[in-house]
Amino acid sequence: MKRLMTRIGVIGLFVCCLTAAIAAAGQEPLRVGMELAYPPFEMTDKSGSPSGISVDLARDLGKALGRPVKIENMAFDGLIPALKTGKIDLIISSMTATGERARSIDFSDPYLQTGLCLLLKKDSPAATIRDLDRLGRTVAVKKGTTGHLYAAKNLKHARLLVLDKEAAAVLEVVQGKADAFIYDQMSVYQNWQRNRATTRAILAPFQKESWAIGIRKGNEPLRRQINDFIRSYRLSGGFDRLGNRYMKEMKQEFKRLGYPFFL
C-alpha cells in the first residue's frame, strides 16, 4: 500500500512539474529595459515601483502578447549593451531610432514624434542651436542621448559638457555654468516650468526624432508582433489614453503654444 502511494506521489509530482514547465514556456516573462529617471514616461511611484507611460505601454504590450512583463531599471547608456547581450528582451525607454543605433539593434515602427530642443540659461542671447556653436559657449548634454550625439557631431566650437543625469545637466544651466542643455521637447518644457526664474526654453525642435521600441537583431517575428500592437493600440486610442492620464496639462499647454502633440 505504501509503495503504491509513493508511486502515485512521484508520478503526480512529475506531472505537475511538466505542466508548470509547459505553461511557463508559453509564459516566459518579457524583460523590458528602461531608465526610470524620465517622468512622465519612465519613473517610479511613491512606493518605488516603476510607473509612467512607457511602463503602462510595456504592460499593455505584454497583455497583447500573452506574456508577463518584468521592468528592468538601468542607466540609459547601458540599455543597448544589455539588449545585445541578452539581459533584456526589449527597450522601451523613450529611445530615439537612429541609423547608428539601428546598426546594433532593430527598432519597431515609431510610436512618438518629438525633437531636440534647447533649455537655455536665462540671460543667454542665443536664438538657435547655431548661435551656441561658438568659442566660449558651453553646451550640456546627457551621456548617450541623441542630444549628445548631435552635439558631438555638429558643435565644433562650443565646449561640450557630458553629464550622467538629466538633473545634473539642468543644474549646470540653472547655475549658469552651461549656456544650454540639448534634450527632447517634453523634458525641456518640464524643466523650464520648474526653473522659470533661471532658464528659458526654445521649444521648436531643430532636429526631429521619433521614438521606437528596441529589439534584439534577428527576431523578425517579435518585431512584427510589436508593430501590429502599436498599430492597433493607436487605432483603439491607447496612446490618447496614456497622454491624458499623464500629460494632460502639457497637452493643453502645447496646444496653446501651437505645437503639435506628439503621442
Partner 1 sequence: MTGIFSLLTQRRGEAGPLAAMARLISWLLVFLAVGGVFTFAFSQLQYGWNWGAIADYRQKLFIGWMTTVAISCVSLCTSLIIGLAAALARRCPFLPVRYTGTLYVELIRGTPLLVQILIFFYVVADAFGIDNRYPVGVLTLSLFAGAYISEIIRAGIESVGESQLESARSIGLTRGQIYRFVIFPQVARQLIPPLAGQFASIIKDSSLLSIIAVSEFTLNAQEVNAYTYSTLESYIPLAVGYLLLTLPISLAGRVLERKYRYAH
CB of 143 to partner 1, least distance (A): 6
Indicate the residue among 27 and 175 with the shorter CB distance to partner 1: 175
Q: Which residues of 3-111 form beta strands (DSSP E)?
A: 30-34, 43-44, 50-51, 69-73, 90-91, 106-107
Q: How far is the CB of 149 from partner 1 (least distance, A)?
A: 7
Residue the block writes with cell 520648474: 194
Nearer to partner 1, 2 or 103 (CB): 103
All residues at 6 or more sequence positions from 151 whose CB lies less than 8 Å from its CB, including other chains: 139, 141, 158, 160, 182
Please compute Rg for the chain using Cα positions: 23
The letter for the amino acid at 227 is N
Q: How far is the CB of 32 from partner 1 (least distance, A)?
A: 20
| Shortest Cβ 160–partner 1 spacing (Å) | 9
- Footprint of partner 1 (CB under 8 A): 77, 80-81, 84-86, 100-101, 103-104, 140, 143-144, 148-149, 152, 161-164, 168, 171-172, 175-177
Q: Is 234 helix (H, G, I), strand (E, B) or coil?
A: helix
Question: Given the complex with partner 1, which of 140 and 180 has the nearer CB atom?
Answer: 140
Mapped onto helix, strand or coil, the DSSP state of residue 22 is helix
- In angstroms, give the least distance from the CB of 87 to partner 1: 11
Measured from the Cβ of residue 23, the count of other Cβ atoms closer than 10 Å reads 9
Nearer to partner 1, 65 or 75 (CB): 75
Cell numbers of 253, please?
499647454
Q: Of the two residues 62 and 179, which places its CB atom closer to partner 1 in the complex? A: 179
* Smallest distance, partner 1 to C-beta of residue 46, A: 24
Q: What DSSP assignment string belongs to 128-140?
A: SHHHH-STT-EEE
Find cell 533649455 and name the residue.
119
The residue among 172 and 209 lying less far from partner 1, judged by its C-beta, is 172
Q: What is the DSSP annotation of 204-231?
A: EEEEEEEE--EE-TT-HHHHHHHHHHHH
**CB-nearer residue toward partner 1: 161 or 263:** 161
Q: How far is the CB of 48 from partner 1 (least distance, A)?
A: 21
In sequence order, the 6+-apart residues with CB closer than 8 A to the CB of 189 are 117, 201, 203, 250, 253, 254
